[in-house]
Amino acid sequence: MATIVETTDAAVVTPPPVKQVKMLIDGEWCDAASGKTFATLNPATEEVIAEVAEGDAEDVERAVAAARRAFESGPWPDLDARDRGQLLYRLADLIEENLEELAALETLDNGKPIRDSRAADLPLVIDCFRYYAGWADKIHGDTVPIRGDYFCYTRREPLGVAGQIIPWNFPLLMAAWKFAPALAAGCTVVMKPAEQTPLTCLRLGELMIEAGFPPGVVNIVPGYGPTAGAAVVKHPGIDKVAFTGHTETAKAIMRDAAATLKRLTFELGGKSPNVVFADADLDAAVAGSEFGLFFNQGQCCTAGSRLFVERSVHDQFVEKMLDRAQGRRLGNPFDLETTQGPQVDKAQFDKILDYVQKGDDAGAKRLTGGERHGDKGFFVEPTIFTDVTDDMPIAREEIFGPVMCILPFDDVDEVVRRGNDTFYGLAAAVWTKDVQKAHHLAHSLRAGTVWVNCYDVFDAAAPFGGFKMSGIGRELGEAALANYTELKTVTMSLG
């Protein structure tokens, strides 16, 4: 078995200082009411980076009160829509000015390679705030031609206070996807970042205050899911919850939200089919499929984790993929050469190695990887399984790690059927030069996003979300504005 390339220390970025570890409530940085803190770790070294204020119900109570005040009175509801947009533009500029620091902070807290935080996360964050800044003054109602002598029109009013609960795989980007449309629409926010990765969201909070968002418009309460997160979900002062994370967590949130009938949008897991036809540009398909699975240490909801390859090119594809997997550079995420960092925490690391074991036990062929890399940090070797069948746990359940499952197929109808045989429906991809086949699959695969001859192409303007148990509602694009507005109908007698 070839060994994974070790990185050199040719160009290593220095970890940044941690500037903010408190919670943001009503424009003030404060400790938890309980005085408790929790540690956030550097997953590459397993060392504690900082102790962060640990929010719970009492802190959420204060944050909701501040957000309600800011929504109902004060400068926020009086602000012209265009001026809300200006604040978002100003925030985007501040993020751009602090790009290097934020990228390094993301790498420190999450473990993702600095080259990814710089080139992928941060540019997408900035773009997201600019995109929604432009929407703030373009959220229109309609005039409606009803029967009778009436003037009828609709208004799209801000929904109220949004509770936003985000995961750790793209900490700052998930914060941007949530904050930007909510603020553009005129909502106020109580944000609960993931306990593994609170630091960039807190630093973003500082930049939001600097940009000029009035007190209470943005509140950030770090803490754990069952405490701080559940308090957000249950609070009657919160009108809507937007959540990204595990499908099982979404079910718990739905139950907890039932008592107050909150609006819910969910962006959840996946087991996305990535289909490579024999007529595809094979090198492009190999490179795109490597990216589609191994990017972000495999911690992507869209990961192309069921890789269907047409039988006639299967062996050739596998050989090329093996080369690429073994050429990935694992190591210090601050090294500019590193392409794969550690998994985010011990729980994820253990879960992934457990799935590797399940793959072995089920009789799949482990071609490479599947072991811990090094003796410090949560590094998992890039792993490829072949001889995978559709019923194996590794082919059905979300692994959320650098574990690729390659499955051969023989014809179009078969691959559509097998591709759709899952309760997930987040994403899919097709690699082919045949336009008919490409469109046929794009239409037949039950997924919120289908990529053709590319993978993980994201843009703030393109709606994103899941069919089936991969989610409810859409983020990004114009579609996300609907998550943060209520439609009001006004009917006036002209008689």
CA distance 68 to 189: 9
Q: Does 467 bind ligand NAI (CB under 6 A)?
A: no
Q: Which does 40 bind (CB under 5 to 8 A by kind): ligand NAI, Mg ion, none?
A: Mg ion
DSSP for residue 7: P
The catalytic residue among 128, 187, 301, 405 is 301
- Residue 428 beta carbon to ligand NAI: minimum distance, rounded to whole angstroms: 16
> How far apart are CB 455 and ligand NAI at their closest, in Å?
16
Under rule CB under 6 A, which residues in 273-312 are in contact with ligand NAI? 301
Interacting residue with Mg ion among 56, 109, 116, 310 (CB under 5 A): 109
Rounded Cα distance, 425 and 278, in Å: 24
Please, are residues 289 and 274 in contact by the beta-carbon 8 Å criterion? yes
Q: Taking contact as CB under 5 A, which single stretch among the options 145-153, 190-198, 261-269, 398-406 is the one that binds Mg ion?
A: 190-198
x/- mask, ligand NAI, residues 155-184, rule CB under 6 A, reads ----------xxxxx---------------
Task: Reply yes or no on whether 267 is catalytic.
Answer: yes
C-alpha 108: how far from chain center: 18
**Which of the listed partners (ligand NAI, Mg ion, none) does 230 bind, with a CB threshold of 5 to 8 Å by partner kind?**
ligand NAI
The separation between CA 123 and the C-alpha centre of its own chain, rounded to angstroms, equals 15
Q: Which listed option, Mg ion, ligand NAI, none, makes contact with residue 109 (CB within 5 to 8 Å by class)? A: Mg ion
Instruction: Please name the residue ranges forming H helices in 55-118.
Output: 57-72, 75-78, 81-97, 99-110, 114-116
Pick the binder of Mg ion from 20, 40, 188, 386 (CB under 5 A): 40
Complex with ligand NAI: residue 348 or 485, whichever CB lies closer: 348
Residue 400 partner contact from Mg ion, ligand NAI, none using kind-dependent CB cut-offs of 5 to 8 Å? ligand NAI
Which residue type, as a one-letter code, is found at position 228?
A: A
Separation between Cα atoms, residue 380 and residue 19, nearest integer Å: 30
Its sign, for the CA torsion 117, 122, 123, 128, is positive
- The answer to whether residue 199 forms part of the interface with ligand NAI (CB under 6 A) is no
Among 202, 8, 192, residue whose Cα is nearest residue 105: 202
Alpha helices by DSSP H, 216-345? 230-234, 247-258, 282-294, 311-326
Nearer of residues 42 and 219 to Mg ion, judged by Cβ: 42
Q: Where on the phi/psi map is residue 218: left (φ > 0), alpha (ψ -120 to 50), or beta?
A: beta
Angle (nearest 5°) at CA 387 between 386 and 389: 115
Residue closer to Mg ion, measured from CB, 48 or 457: 48
Residues 221 to 250 in contact with ligand NAI, rule: CB under 6 A:
224-226, 229-230, 233, 244-246, 249
Would you call 187 a catalytic residue per the annotation? Answer: no
Q: Catalytic residue numbers?
A: 267, 301
